C-alpha cells in the first residue's frame, strides 16, 4: 500500500483526540487507479515485463483484463500467480516482479480494474472478479503443464490472493508485507489512541478478513515480514501469522529484519530462504 495514503488516514484519525472522534473511511481510500494517479500527479516508472513475455487475452463482465505471463522455467517448476499492491500495474512494476519471482518459476501477473489495461472500476468486488478469472486461468495452465500453482500477494495483493487461493486450490500461498484485515491496519496506525476513535468503515472495507477468506484452505502459507516496514508495520504480519495458525493453517514466517515494505525481494538472503520454504515436503 502507498505510504502517503496510510499517513493521510492516520492524520485524519488523530484529529480531535482531545475527545472522542468519529471518522468515515471510504472503500476507495486504498486504491490508486489510473485516474487517481493522474489527479495526484504520481510519477510511475516505465518498467514493464521483460521482452518476450506473453500477453494473455482475457475478459470479465466489465471488459478486458490486462495480464502477462513471464515464461522463465520448465515444468515441473511452479506457476506463480502474482497479486500486486495498490500501486502495482504491469507497465511500471512488471519488470521488478519478474526479476524477483522468476527464479522460482513462471510468473502470471495482471492489472486491477481501472489500472493499466484492465477495464472497470477500482473496488473490492471488481478486484475479486478479475482475480477469479485470472486464478482459474492460472490453475488451468498449471494443470495442463504439470506445474504446482503458487498464489503470491504483496500488500493489498495479499487480500486479493487470499480471496481466490482456496477457490483454485493453490498449492501454496505467499503473503508478503500484508495485513489480516483493513481494520487491523487502522488499529495499528492509531495505536494507543484507538479507544478514542470511532471508525466507520465502508462495508466492503470492513469485510476484509484474510484468515476468514482462507477457511478450509489446505495449502501451505508463507508470511514474509519486513522488519522496517513503515507502511504496514511488521506487527501486522505477526498478527496475520498468529491468526492463521490459530485456525489450524500450516504457516511459516520468514522475517527480513532490514527490509521495508517494497524491498523484501531485494534482500540478499531472499532467494535462498524463499526457495527453501517452497521446497516440497
Convert the pLDDT of each residue in 103-156 to its tens digit: 999 999 999 999 999 999 999 999 999 999 999 999 999 999 999 999 999 999
Q: For residue 99, is pLDDT > 70?
A: yes
Reported as a single tens digit per residue, the pLDDT across 153-207 is 999 999 999 999 999 999 999 999 999 999 999 888 776 455 677 888 999 999 9
Of all residues in the chain, the percent with pLDDT exceeding 70 is 91
pTM comes to 0.92
d(CA 71, CA 231): 31
What value does the mean pLDDT take over residues 208-233? 97
Of all residues in the chain, the percent with pLDDT exceeding 90 is 82
**What's residue 147's pLDDT?**
97
**What's residue 19's pLDDT?**
53
What value does the mean pLDDT take over residues 60-79? 96
The three state secondary structure string of the chain is: CCHHHHHHHHHHHHCCCCCCEEEEECHHHHCCCHHHHHHCCCCCCCCCCCCCCEEEEEEECCEEEEEEEECCCCCCCCEEEEECCCCCCHHHHHHHHHHHHCCCCEEEEECCCCCCCCCCCCCHHHHHHHHHHHHHHHHHHHHHHCCCEEEEEECHHHHHHHHHHCCCCCCEEEEECCCCCHHHHHHHHHHHHHHHEEEEECHHHHCCCHHHHCCCCCCEEEEEEECCCCCCCHHHHHHHHHHHHHCCCCEEEEEECCCCCCCHHHCCCHHHHHHHHHCCC
**What's residue 9's pLDDT?**
55
Cis bond upstream, residue 76 (ω within 30):
yes
What value does the mean pLDDT take over residues 88-97? 98
* Short-list 31, 29, 68, CA closest to 47: 68
Q: For residue 77, is pLDDT > 60?
A: yes
Q: For residue 67, is pLDDT > 90?
A: yes
10: confidence class by pLDDT, cuts 50, 70, 90: low
**What's residue 191's pLDDT?**
65
**What's residue 247's pLDDT?**
96
Task: Tell me which of 8-12, 252-256, 263-267 is least confident.
Answer: 8-12
Amino acid at each position: 500500500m502507498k505510504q502517503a495514503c496510510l499517513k493521510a488516514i492516520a492524520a485524519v484519525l488523530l484529529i480531535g483526540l482531545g475527545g472522542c472522534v468519529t471518522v468515515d473511511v471510504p472503500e476507495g481510500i486504498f486504491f490508486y487507479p489510473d485516474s487517481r494517479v493522474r489527479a495526484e500527479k504520481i510519477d510511475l516508472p516505465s518498467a514493464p515485463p521483460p521482452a518476450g513475455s506473453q500477453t494473455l487475452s482475457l475478459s470479465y463482465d466489465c471488459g478486458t483484463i490486462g495480464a502477462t505471463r513471464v515464461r522463465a522455467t520448465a515444468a515441473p517448476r511452479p506457476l506463480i500467480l502474482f497479486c500486486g499492491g495498490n500501486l502495482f500495474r504491469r507497465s511500471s512494476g512488471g519488470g521488478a516482479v519478474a526479476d524477483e519471482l522468476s527464479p522460482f518459476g513462471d510468473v502470471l501477473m495482471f492489472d486491477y480494474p481501472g489500472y493499466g489495461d484492465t477495464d472497470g472500476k477500482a473496488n473490492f468486488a471488481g478486484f475479486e472478479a478479475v482475480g477469479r478469472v485470472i486464478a482459474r486461468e492460472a490453475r488451468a495452465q498449471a494443470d495442463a503443464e504439470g506445474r504446482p500453482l503458487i498464489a503470491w500477494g504483496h500488500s493489498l495483493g495479499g487480500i486479493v490472493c487470499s480471496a481466490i487461493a482456496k477457490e483454485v486450490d493453490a498449492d501454496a500461498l505467499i503473503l508478503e508485507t500484508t495485513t489480516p484485515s483493513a481494520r487491523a491496519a487502522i488499529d495499528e496506525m492509531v495505536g494507543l489512541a484507538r479507544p478514542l476513535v470511532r471508525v466507520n468503515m465502508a462495508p466492503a472495507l470492513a469485510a476484509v478478513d484474510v484468515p476468514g477468506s482462507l477457511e478450509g484452505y489446505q495449502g501451505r502459507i508463507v508470511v514474509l515480514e519486513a522488519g522496517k516496514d513503515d507502511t504496514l508495520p511488521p506487527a501486522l504480519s505477526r498478527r496475520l501469522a498468529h491468526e492463521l495458525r490459530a485456525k489450524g493453517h500450516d504457516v511459516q514466517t520468514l522475517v527480513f529484519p532490514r527490509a521495508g515494505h517494497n524491498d523484501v525481494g531485494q534482500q540478499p538472503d531472499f532467494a535462498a530462504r524463499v526457495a527453501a520454504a517452497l521446497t516440497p515436503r
